[in-house]
Amino acid sequence: MLPDWDALPHLQRTDGSHRGEVYRGDMNAVVIDDVTAMRAALVEARLASTHGDVPVGAVVVRNGQVIASAGNQREQLGDPTAHAEMQVLRLAAQHVGTWRLDDCTLYVTLEPCVMCAGAIINARVGTVVFGAPDLKAGAIGSLYNVAVDPRLNHEAVVRQGVLAEECGLLLQKFFSERRP
Ligand SMILES: [Zn+2]
- The whole-number pLDDT of residue 12 equals 46
Q: What is the pLDDT of residues 79-116, one digit of tens each?
A: 999 999 999 999 999 999 999 999 999 999 999 999 99
Q: State residue 74's pLDDT score.
A: 98
pLDDT in tens, 137-164: 999 999 999 998 889 999 999 999 999 9
The pTM for the full model equals 0.84
pLDDT computed for residue 60 by the predictor = 96
Q: How far is the CA of 6 from the centre of ligand 1 (A)?
A: 30
114-122 helix and 84-96 helix, angle to the nearest 10 degrees:
10
Question: Is 177 labeled as catalytic in the residue annotation?
Answer: no
Which of 21, 44, 75, 85 is catalytic? The answer is: 85
Phi and psi, residue 70, nearest 5°: -160, 155
Q: How far is the CA of 26 from the centre of ligand 1 (A)?
A: 30
CA of 150 to the centre of ligand 1 (A): 21
